[in-house]
Amino acid sequence: MRTIKGIGVSAGRVLGPSRRMPPPVPEPDADAKFSADSTVDGEKARLKDAAETVRADLKHRAETASGDARAVLDATAMMATDPMLLKAAGKHINAGMAPDRAIWEAGMEVAAMLQSLGGYMAERTQDVLDVRARIVAELNGLPAPGIPASDVPFILTAVELAPADTATLDPAKVIGLVTSEGGPQSHTAILARSLGLPAVVGAPGANDVGDGAELYLDGASGTVVVEPGVAEREAAQKYASRSALPVFNGTGSTSDGHRVPLLANVGSGKDARAAAEAGAEGIGLLRTEFCFLGRDSEPSLEEQVAAYGAVFEAFPGRKVVIRTLDAGADKPLPFLTDASEPNPALGVRGFRTDRTSPGVLARQLEAIAVASGAHEADVWVMAPMVSTAEEAADFAVLCTAAGLGMPGVMIEVPAAAIMAEAVLSRVRFASLGTNDLTQYTMAADRQLGSLATLNDPWQPAVLQLISATVAGAARATAALPAETGSATAAAQSKTVGVCGEAAADPALAVVLTGIGVNTLSMTPRALSSVGAVLASVSLEQAQELAARALAAHTAAEARTIVRSRLPILEQLGL
């Protein structure tokens, strides 16, 4: 029995055999020729057999997969024996090139061609590169790249998952995730939470566990046990027989009826429709940059109106908070950001791009106004990465000019949290981006697994800044001119929401409520757990837990104190 400690990023306790993510397939030697005792026809036949094996394997996996994974695997299977790809490789074999190098070159050529065609064709590029690697692996007797195939459910171990791996991850087969790298905001962590898979990241050595070894994984405490004992087996069994999570009833509140609307974070119309189905009371964060990632030119007014309209349409009469482009740092958009900046997280990102690329923001606000006019959603607009009251005021002016009446800001820079009263007196609402607020408060890059313990929203310094923001918002509300009348003043009170990953942690959601946050926005998958845990406490209990968390000296202490006072977490296996 060996215990590995990592960071728990998605709760759940499971037991199962480990399967390791194979390393990427190495590029074949550029000068590789096939041997003199073989023939062009013989090598072409070898390539064709390998391509056929890859196609059959992907097809078999598609048949036993579910949902999105099935569609992706089906499309990739067809690509494996694509005549254009095999013909291009054949030409290289005619010139004496070894088949693995030939398919490597052909894959590159076909991918470049598809890329140049743009649109749907460009989206197939990844499939070509994927089958190319699979055929090379097959020719050289290497394990196929990507999520391993298996007939039995398993716990996947990896260094870190790439976005492309996620498409073929079948939640019916993969029952847990462990990575040696990655932090709470890493791609693996976000994916695990959105699929509801127990996961531990930043677990050193987890990737070296041999295939087939039995693992126990506790995604709440961040523990991985290799060849577990009786206690772990019992814990996994208890988790398997936990009470089912109640379906979220669409009304977030504490047990004594204090309302905390539970909203969803989305990046597209498709996400928004799924969020509405999961009972979200509205959208707390539409990441508009997600609609246009990978684009190298500014989207047209029509494209923007269509993308935003698709989200508004899913929530008629409901609140939809749309965030203007948050380009920069981990989300570069070539038409707004400078890839050569030495410190992108501290560079021209979010609202700051309005200074370097004037006009893009005004045009985006115009598109939001047009889309908003065509739908019934209650549209609120916020700017990311605002640091000062002047920036908040500038954004409010731009919103007014576009005819948008609910301007707000993200509070994700410590300066804005400290100056919340001044910042909020310029706009109508704030949304705490705890992912960035944590990274900037702790001076710890949110993408670095090695800094994951610092990058934890339970850090008391982060909780103090959240509390300072809520207090600043209350002062900004109290300062509203008396002559506006109490009804108007109430309508104009400065709401503070949370839309960072912190809101999706049910125990932390209780603390945030106790601090006085008004709304919580999260991945739709978290709505039922957050809704259930919130409904298990009164407002007074939430306030008491918040006071205890705020008084803690360390993140671990805050988390342990609060979790130990929420028995429902154990009952629901959270």
Ligand X SMILES: C=C(OP(=O)(O)O)C(=O)O
Binding-site positions read 287, 323, 412, 435-436, 446
| DSSP letter string, 514-570 | HHT--EEEE-GGGHHHHHHHHTTS-HHHHHHHHHHHHH-SSHHHHHHHHHHT-HHHH
Residues 342-361 that bind Mg ion (CB under 5 A): none
Q: Which is nearer to ligand X, 58 or 502 (CB)?
A: 502
Gap between the Cα atoms of 226 and 203, Å rounded: 12
Least distance in angstroms from the C-beta of 57 to ligand X:
36
Q: Please select the residue that binds ligand X; options are 82, 138, 165, 326, rule is CB under 6 A.
A: 326
Cβ atoms within 10 A of the Cβ of 115, count?
Answer: 14
Q: Which is nearer to Mg ion, 329 or 568 (CB)?
A: 329
Q: Please select the residue that binds ligand X; options are 107, 261, 282, 433, rule is CB under 6 A.
A: 433
Strands 429-432 and 2-5: unpaired
Q: Return the one option of Mg ion, ligand X, none that residue 516 interacts with (CB less than 5 to 8 A, by type).
A: none
Q: Return the one option of Mg ion, ligand X, none that residue 287 interacts with (CB less than 5 to 8 A, by type).
A: ligand X
Find the part of the chain contacting ligand X (CB under 6 A) among 314-322, 337-345, 429-437, 560-568.
429-437
Of 187, 291, 375, 399, catalytic = 187
Least distance in angstroms from the C-beta of 437 to ligand X:
7
Using CB atoms within 10 Å of the CB of residue 252, give its burial: 0 to 12 exposed, 13 to 18 middle, 19+ buried.
buried
Cα(first)–Cα(last) distance of the chain, in Å? 24
Least distance in angstroms from the C-beta of 350 to ligand X:
8
Least distance in angstroms from the C-beta of 554 to Mg ion:
24
Q: Return the one option of Mg ion, ligand X, none that residue 181 interacts with (CB less than 5 to 8 A, by type).
A: none
Gap between the Cα atoms of 465 and 418, Å rounded: 7
Q: Return the one option of ligand X, Mg ion, none that residue 46 interacts with (CB less than 5 to 8 A, by type).
A: none
By CB under 6 A, is residue 435 in contact with ligand X? yes
Contact 232, 225 (CB under 8 A): yes
Q: Return the one option of Mg ion, ligand X, none that residue 275 interacts with (CB less than 5 to 8 A, by type).
A: none
Q: Return the one option of Mg ion, ligand X, none that residue 269 interacts with (CB less than 5 to 8 A, by type).
A: none
By CB under 6 A, is residue 434 in contact with ligand X? yes
H-helix or E-strand containing 235? helix 230-240
Cβ atoms within 10 A of the Cβ of 81, count?
Answer: 16
For the chain, counts of helices (H) and of strands (E): 24, 16
Least distance in angstroms from the C-beta of 267 to ligand X:
9
Of 92, 291, 375, 499, catalytic = 499
By CB under 5 A, is residue 436 in contact with Mg ion? yes
Q: Which is nearer to ligand X, 69 or 327 (CB)?
A: 327
Q: Please select the residue that binds ligand X; options are 499, 504, 509, 526, rule is CB under 6 A.
A: 499
Q: Please select the residue that binds ligand X; options are 132, 173, 187, 287, rule is CB under 6 A.
A: 287
Q: What angle do CA 70, 76, 82 make, to 5 degrees?
A: 145
Least distance in angstroms from the C-beta of 290 to Mg ion:
12
Q: Which residues, at least 6 apart from 379, have a Cβ–Cβ distance to it below 8 Å? A: 312, 320, 322, 368, 372, 404, 406
Candidates 306, 267, 163, 189; CA nearest to 521 is: 267
Contact 533, 566 (CB under 8 A): yes
Q: Which residues, at least 6 apart from 207, have a Cβ–Cβ distance to it below 8 Å? A: 20, 21, 157, 158, 159, 179, 180
258 is catalytic: no
- Write phi, then psi, for 371 (nearest 5 degrees): -65, -40
Least distance in angstroms from the C-beta of 369 to Mg ion:
24
What is the Cα gyration radius of the chain? 26
Q: Which is nearer to ligand X, 97 or 417 (CB)?
A: 417
Show binding-site residues for phosphoenolpyruvate: 287, 323, 435-436, 446
Looking at the DSSP assignment, which residues form a beta bridge with residue 285? 265
Q: Please select the residue that binds ligand X; options are 298, 313, 421, 436, rule is CB under 6 A.
A: 436
Q: Which is nearer to ligand X, 85 or 530 (CB)?
A: 530
Find the part of the chain contacting ligand X (CB under 6 A) among 226-234, 275-283, 420-428, 432-440.
432-440
Q: Which is nearer to ligand X, 314 or 466 (CB)?
A: 466
Q: Return the one option of Mg ion, ligand X, none that residue 499 interacts with (CB less than 5 to 8 A, by type).
A: ligand X
Q: Which tokens sit at 534?
A: 């919130």
Q: Identify residue 415 by its one-letter amino acid code.
A: A
399 is catalytic: no
Least distance in angstroms from the C-beta of 459 to Mg ion:
16
Least distance in angstroms from the C-beta of 187 to ligand X:
12
Gap between the Cα atoms of 119 and 176, Å rounded: 34
Residues 415-434 that bind Mg ion (CB under 5 A): 433
Show binding-site residues for Mg(2+): 412, 436
By CB under 6 A, is residue 500 in contact with ligand X? yes
Using CB atoms within 10 Å of the CB of residue 345, give its burial: 0 to 12 exposed, 13 to 18 middle, 19+ buried.
middle
Q: Identify residue 248 by its one-letter amino acid code.
A: F
By CB under 5 A, is residue 412 in contact with Mg ion? yes
Contact 476, 420 (CB under 8 A): yes
Candidates 26, 38, 24; CA nearest to 97 is: 38
Q: Which is nearer to ligand X, 146 or 184 (CB)?
A: 184
Q: Return the one option of Mg ion, ligand X, none that residue 396 interacts with (CB less than 5 to 8 A, by type).
A: none
Going residue by residue from 400 to 419, which x/- string records binding to ligand X, judged by CB under 6 A? Answer: ------------x-------
Residues that bind Mg ion (CB under 5 A): 412, 433, 436
Tell me which residues touch ligand X (CB under 6 A): 285, 287, 326, 412, 433-436, 499-500
Active site residues: 187, 499
